[in-house]
Amino acid sequence: MAREKLGPLEDYSIQKGAGYFFDNEPLPLDFVLPGLMRKSVGVLVAAGSTGKSFYAVQTCLSVCAGRDLFGLYGGAEITAGPVTYLALEDTLDVFWHRLYGIAGHLRQNNNEDDFKAIRKAADQLHIHELYGRGFRPIEGDDLQPSAHLRQSIDAVKAQGARLVIVDTYSRFLAGHSEQDNAVAATIVAALEQMCQETNAAVLVLHHTNKVSQLGGGQGEQGAARGASALTDNARYQMNMWTMPREVAEAHGVPDDERKAYVFAEATKANHLPPQGKTWLQRQRGGVLTGIDPLPEVPQQNGRQGRFQE
């Protein structure tokens, strides 16, 4: 296919002279989540079965409610706003089960008035069921934004979303190679277009690579599967990983229980200093809640472990 000749940009913004910025105090940066600024693209990276889908849905509800409902972000302040979830991997039935389970957890852990307020806020979460519908955000040999992407941008704008979740990156690629840096950069640029037009932040769910899973590097920036341009071009990255065996031993957690503990850490946040990792515990039904770090157990025979009777 011949490459179409590009026309002029519809909106070519120029700040004529930077002196204004010298003379006037800037507005505070608007963070949708700690480290994820409005109108920017972030990535949530985790291995399969870690709980990133629950983490994403719970994050959505926290933004809708305007508070950290589950302690995923250390009780940080969160500004309320609508959320759009572009669901390319799961059907609405799957979301129904997740949300019903989350609602049960919230009902048990909040008083009646608080739960009613959270229930009302849940109506601000809008799920776009794109699974099995042939959604392709880019098209052509030169990877131009498609009419499908335009539909999503228009819908996000109409819903006034503060946060957009893309689940998942590999599905959003619509058959293009994860290993291609040019493709990754183009996808991020398409999502930045969504950010710019909707005034929302976009958080993309993605998987970790096999090397990081086998080598214990799931908490590193380079853990994202495929082309490095995804992490390089995104402005934020949150990594999640299951408690490793050596950490479980150091904290006295039996091996058959360690998968109930998950770590989350912002490994890239361009506009925020390092925050350290958050400890999460998987509750009944898969709901994740923030917990205080477990204490290390005393050493015995040169190793960390439980005291034996």
pLDDT of 308 above 60: no
| Token representation of residue 258 | 């360690």
Q: Look up the domain containing 56 and give its range.
A: 36-263+274-295
- Neighbouring C-beta atoms of residue 26, cutoff 10 Å: 6
pLDDT above 80: residue 216: no
**Which helix (H) or strand (E) segment is 171 a member of?**
helix 169-172
Any bridge partners for residue 166, and if so which?
Answer: 86, 204
Residue 98 falls inside a structural domain: yes
Residue 6: predicted pLDDT? 66
pLDDT digits (tens, 9 = 90+) for 234-257: 999 999 999 999 999 999 999 999
Across 193-200, average pLDDT: 97
**What pLDDT digit, counting tens, does each position of 265-279 carry?**
999 998 887 788 999
**Phi and psi, residue 183, nearest 5°:** -65, -45
**Hey, what amino acid is at 239?**
N
Mean pLDDT value of segment 21-38: 95
For residue 165, the domain's CATH number is 3.40.50.300
Q: How far apart are CA 5 and CA 95, in angstroms?
A: 42
Domain count, the chain: 1
pLDDT number for residue 207: 93
The pLDDT-based confidence of 75 (bands split at 50, 70, 90) is very high
Q: What is the mean predicted confidence (pLDDT) over 56-84?
A: 97
**CB-count exposure of residue 94 (10 Å: 0-12, 13-18, 19+):** middle
Backbone phi, then psi, for 134, in 5-degree steps? Answer: 70, 30
Is 46 within 8 Å of 240 (Cβ atoms)?
Answer: yes
The answer to whether position 4 is within a domain reads: no
Structure tokens at 100: 């019903």
Is residue 166 one of the residues assigned to a domain? yes
